[in-house]
Structure 1
Amino acid sequence: MVRWEPGAKVRLQAAALDLFAAHGFEQTTTAQIAQSVGLTERTFFRHFSDKREVLFYGQELFLQAFLDGIDAAPSDAPTMAVVASALHAGTSLFPEERRPYSRLRQTVIDANPALEERETHKMSGLATTVAEALRQRGIPEPTATLAAESGGTVFRMAFAQWIRDGETRALADIATDLLAELHNLTAEELAPPA
């Protein structure tokens, strides 16, 4: 019988990611993941419902960070300032030491269409959650949905840039730059079609 050791969830996550990257997501079993860190498959299932959850664990914390950022914004803040506050809070979950893990995780996701679909669904859920929180602040439609979808787009683009090889800026800084770019784009005068 394997003796209980602290940090099993983190060890399982790290081992799973390494195995997925080396052998492929579909080719890696939960038993292999558990055995690679000296645990049983039963222990694996105490922490994760299936091997996909290893890659997507913590989604509630991710969403909550954005909601906390919305709550932290002053009650009279303009809509996009509220979105900026949400982005700042969300990006705080990704410190520099997490960048190598995030890069490897994205490589595994990009190699598997079902995982890509799950990631897309996760980001869609983010926009839905943020839009609902904006509506609860009294921001009407379609403004709430436009702002939430824009914030989601900024986060996705910033994250993709953050995990690129050679990128050294903090995720929060990239998101801030992209949000400023979005502001500049929307501030341009719209010319009627010719």
Structure 2
Amino acid sequence: MVVAAVDLFTEQGYDDTTVAQIAARAGVTRSTFHRHFADKRDVLVAGQETLSTLLTEGITEAPADAGPLEAVAAGLERASGALGQGDREFGQRIKAAVAASAELQERDALKSVGLAAAMTAALATRGVPDPVAHLAAELGVLAFKRGYAQWSEGDGADGLAHHVLAALSELHGATSLLGRPAAESADESQGAR
């Protein structure tokens, strides 16, 4: 049903796509659609629960002496390992559908909030203080989004985990520039490239 929905969103736009059309394209009834999704917006967050579970398992199972970002990296690596070539190709289609709809952009933002909350809770369980857990989780979400975008737009030679962990490392490095004047931060950021 997710593929059918994204195909229709891409072909005719989100607003012009109905649940009945999605169900027909997927070869199911409307009632079957509604057993899985409350509405057509929920199609976008299909798999979020699984992704949250993989992220939290990776964080929970990270070595006891791992710092917060190391634990987040373990979660990102676990989640990235579950996504394959089909997800890479599908990601571009989802990105196009989201870009064309304010309603889907809102749902995508809520998905990010949910992933950050799951990682924050997993870090808190490890004893990470609240502000640090929130910051590490938000960096994790941003790294996942940046890495996923690079991976889905690339040739797929490097795996998703490579891109996500590189993005996390880059973001971690960027945090050291937060307390510096803008010109100094820009100079150092350019030097890092």
TM range (shorter): 0.7 to 0.9
Q: CA deviation at 1:90?
A: 1.8
- Report the structure number with the largest CA radius of gyration: 1
Selected match of 2:39 from 50, 67, 70: 50
Residue 179 of structure 1 aligns with which residue? 168
Residue 90 of structure 1 aligns with which residue? 79
Residue 119 of structure 2 aligns with which residue? 130
For the residues of structure 2 that align with 1:13 and 1:78, how far apart are their CA atoms? 37
Q: CA deviation at 1:39?
A: 3.0
**What is the identity percentage for the equivalent residue pairs of Structure 1 and Structure 2?**
38
Change (3 A) 1:81 1:41: same
Are positions 1:101 and 2:99 aligned together? no
Selected match of 2:128 from 125, 135, 139: 139
Measured on the aligned residues, the alpha-carbon RMSD in Å equals 2.4
Q: CA deviation at 1:52?
A: 1.6
Query: Is the CA contact 2:85–2:156 (under 8 Å) kept in the aligned structure 1?
Result: no
Query: Is the CA contact 2:41–2:107 (under 8 Å) kept in the aligned structure 1?
Result: no
Q: Structure 2 length as normaliser, TM-score?
A: 0.84
Q: CA deviation at 1:187?
A: 6.0
Change (3 A) 1:50 1:74: same
| AA matched with 2:120 | A
Q: CA deviation at 1:41?
A: 2.1
For the residues of structure 1 that align with 2:2 and 2:175, how far apart are their CA atoms? 41
Q: CA deviation at 1:165?
A: 5.3
Q: CA deviation at 1:93?
A: 2.8
Structure 2, unaligned runs of 5 or more: 185-193
Change (3 A) 1:141 1:40: closer
Q: Structure 1 length as normaliser, TM-score?
A: 0.83
Structure 1, unaligned runs of 5 or more: 1-11
Query: Is the CA contact 1:158–1:178 (under 8 Å) kept in the aligned structure 2?
Result: yes
Which secondary structure does the structure 2 equivalent of 1:149 belong to? helix
Residue 7 of structure 1 aligns with which residue? none
